[in-house]
Amino acid sequence: MQLGEAASSARRRWLTLVVLGITQLMVALDATVINIALPRAQVALHFSAGDRQWAITAYALAFGSLLLLGGRLGDLWGRRTALVVGLVGFAAASALAGAASSFSMLVGARAVQGAFGAILAPAALAALSTTFTDRAERATAFSIYGALAGSGAAIGLILGGALTQWASWRWCLFINVVFAVVALAGVVPLIESKPGTQHAHLDVTGTILASAGLFAIVYGLAHAVTATWASAVTITSLVVGVVLIGAFVGWQKRSEHPLLPLRIVFARTRGGSVVALFITMMGFFGVSLFLAYYLQGVLGYSPLRTGIAFLPMVVALGLSATLASARLLALSGPRPLVPTGMLLVTLSMVLFTRLPTRADYFASVLPGLILLGLGLGLIFAPAAASATAGVTPSDVGAASAIVNSSQQIGGSVGTALLNTIAVSVASRALSHSSAGSPSARAAAATVHGYSIAFWWAAGIFATGALFTAIVLESGPPELAVEGPVAA
């Protein structure tokens, strides 16, 4: 390849990263951008506080249960087709949700958003994986992509607060149309229009088992947040989900055209990276929720100020991912980076267990946020890159779907588990408290509940540090893939 052609090819790859980064950011922030808008949406559409969670849960249910199917569709259609379909569908559903005139219309549109997000997210990660095959470039690209994936939830809080406060809650949904149009303008010329895997077939039985199993698990976890873990609906949903996923694994061993080739997750570093992402999102989603409630409910921050308060974490995460991960992953592999990141996040959780009931952001909140961002940057980029490294082009969509599924299910597990712990501990503390005013007792009980939940989160990340130190391998991840690269 001549010098001019090499420069042009490199420029095309980095422009592709920008486009895929915008796509990933849109999907990542949409999990939280609606949160701050919900109180005003509730007033406008006249739905109850008990129904409010379904505006979030509908998205998670569709997204989580259809990810494996979405990843395989990307393999069958090709990356550009999957990205175009995902972006157009996501934008249309976002516009519909923003224009909702009733609660049912809002929930239905959010579910459609999740369905198209399940096509979009694995297609974007698969396109990134097949675009960057040089070891050094791949590390840099995944560090940037990982920073966007990890900080998307916090950016969603900032954007949601700004849009809700300065425009309308509906713009928290309309903004996706802007992201999608910009991404489409780049996807069409930059992502090559190549067909998907030749002579491939869709595993219908596997699709039904996986989608139904993931739906049941996510629904059970979502139900536990508003009910209890002992609820018959919660237990039944989780049991049915586990049984269906077990049946899915058994079927994949026998299927001629498996939806998820088990060789993808049975490889030591790839499987370990997927579990690392599951553990990380299990702790992070619950923690970000508690911190948002703490800043608004206990310290009295406005929605916009709450979002801005997360900025140090976003900056630390970006620096950690783009500087440390980009430089070190290609040399050392994921083993020293991911366990170190887990330990840093564990330390941040320990700091958060000491949050006071008085406003003390710079002394009590900021140090933990910075450590949290630094740790997450060392986890997301190396784990995402290692989970898709060395995968054949015909399987890269499925591998990318597993990465997204692990994060989605991990987030649901963490939210349900940690929220249940925090609420139950706070209720017991309040019932045994008699000193001080009612508001002071309530604040103290709430912060105590958060403290215990943060201790649990610290235990989760400490376990993750030990697991990844044992399972992940040292040395640069294998990048070679067999066959032509499908775009």
3-state secondary structure of 194: coil
**Over residues 6-35, mean pLDDT:** 82
Sheet strands (E) in 255-402: none
- Asked whether residue 388 carries a pLDDT value surpassing 50, the answer given is yes
Q: Which amino acid is at 252?
A: Q
Burial label for 439, CB within 10 Å (0-12, 13-18, 19+), is exposed
- Which residue in 189, 191, 182 sits closest to 79, CA to CA? 191
pLDDT of residue 204: 86
Say which residue the tokens 């989603």 belong to.
285
Where helices occur in 198-261 by DSSP H, the ranges are: 204-226, 232-254
Q: How far apart are CA 276 and CA 281, in angstroms?
A: 9
What's the rounded mean pLDDT across residues 267-289? 85
The first and second tokens of residue 257, run together, are 């055209």
User: What's the pLDDT score for residue 486?
Assistant: 36
Question: Higher pLDDT residue, 484 or 152?
Answer: 152
Q: In this structure, are residues 145 and 325 in contact, taking their beta carbons and an 8 Å threshold?
A: no
Give every CB contact of residue 32 below 8 A, 6+ residues apart in sequence: 152, 153, 154, 156, 157, 160, 288
Rounded Cα–Cα distance for residues 222 and 65 (Å): 13
CB atoms within 10 A of CB 435: 7
C-alpha 444, offset from chain centre: 31
Measuring CA to CA, how many Å separate 317 from each of 152, 187, 289? 11, 27, 18
Q: Which residue has the higher pLDDT, 146 or 263?
A: 263
Q: Percentage of the chain surpassing pLDDT 90?
A: 32
- pLDDT, residue 197, reads 56
Average pLDDT, the chain: 84
Query: Among 3.40.47.10, 1.10.3470.10, 3.30.930.10, 1.20.1250.20, what is the CATH number of 3-202+259-471?
Result: 1.20.1250.20
pLDDT in tens, 320-333: 887 766 677 777 77
**pLDDT (0 to 100) of residue 481:** 42
Longest dimension (CA), the chain: 78
CA distance 354 to 486: 50
Tell me the pLDDT band of 386, cut-offs 50, 70 and 90.
confident
State pLDDT tens for residues 190-228. 887 666 555 557 788 988 998 899 889 888 887 887 777
Model pLDDT for residues 81-112, shown as the tens digit of each residue = 999 999 999 999 999 999 999 999 999 999 99
411-442 pLDDT tens trace: 778 877 888 888 888 888 888 776 677 778 88
Query: Residue 288 in contact with residue 32, Cβ under 8 Å?
Result: yes
Cα–Cα dist 112/116, whole Å? 6
**pLDDT value at position 279?**
93
